[in-house]
């Protein structure tokens, strides 16, 4: 992680209606870090409820040596699960995606993805959402 990044996470997200949440963990051999069920309150002001089930497995990215070690390990696992993920998408209508979340205490931030990581991202065949949050403080 760059010095301007204070937090980075990487997630595998599955969402759909009436998802077999217990079966997902068994099939993928990954424990969810968060499960949201359709109708669950997400926010009270303004009131927001989940429109569908969501199963998420998230890791924290800590390596600052431009190797993406944690992300590459997770991507390797996702690649191994491609068949199961494709089957769930086709049979159960489950949408699968990846998310990279980066947060900074400073007004400017960056997160570098190395070529090996980019190749693995492409090999998953999954869309990648990139989200960022900056508190906008001046970093000196």
How large is the average pLDDT for residues 10-34?
92
Q: In the predicted model, is pLDDT for residue 63 greater than 80?
A: no
pTM over 0.75, yes/no: yes
Confidence at 105, pLDDT banded by 50, 70, 90: confident
Asked whether residue 133 is domain-assigned, the answer is: yes
Confidence at 44, pLDDT banded by 50, 70, 90: confident
Asked whether residue 119 is domain-assigned, the answer is: yes
Q: What pLDDT does residue 112 have?
A: 84
Q: In the predicted model, is pLDDT for residue 1 greater than 50?
A: no
* Structural domain range at position 46: 7-137
Asked whether residue 1 is domain-assigned, the answer is: no
> What is the DSSP pairing of strand 128-137 with strand 95-106?
parallel
How large is the average pLDDT for residues 65-75?
85
Cα(33)–Cα(11) distance, integer angstroms: 9
Asked whether residue 103 is domain-assigned, the answer is: yes
Q: How many domains are contained in the chain? A: 1
CB-based contacts of 71: which residues, under 8 Å, 6+ apart? 10, 59, 61, 100, 117
Asked whether residue 2 is domain-assigned, the answer is: no
Confidence at 39, pLDDT banded by 50, 70, 90: confident
């Amino acid at each position: 992680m760059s010095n301007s990044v204070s937090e980075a996470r990487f997630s595998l997200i599955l969402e759909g209606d009436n998802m077999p949440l217990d079966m997902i963990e068994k099939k993928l051999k990954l424990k969810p870090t968060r499960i949201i069920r359709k109708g669950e309150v997400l926010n009270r002001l303004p009131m927001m409820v989940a429109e569908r089930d969501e199963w998420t497995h998230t890791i924290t990215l800590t390596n600052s040596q431009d190797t993406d070690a944690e992300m590459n390990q997770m991507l390797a696992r996702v690649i191994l699960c491609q068949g199961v993920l494709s089957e769930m998408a086709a049979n159960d209508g489950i949408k699968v995606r990846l998310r990279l979340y980066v947060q900074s205490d400073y007004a400017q931030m960056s997160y570098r993805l190395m070529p090996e990581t980019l190749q693995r991202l492409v090999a998953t065949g999954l869309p990648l959402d990139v989200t960022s949050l900056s508190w906008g403080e001046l970093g000196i």
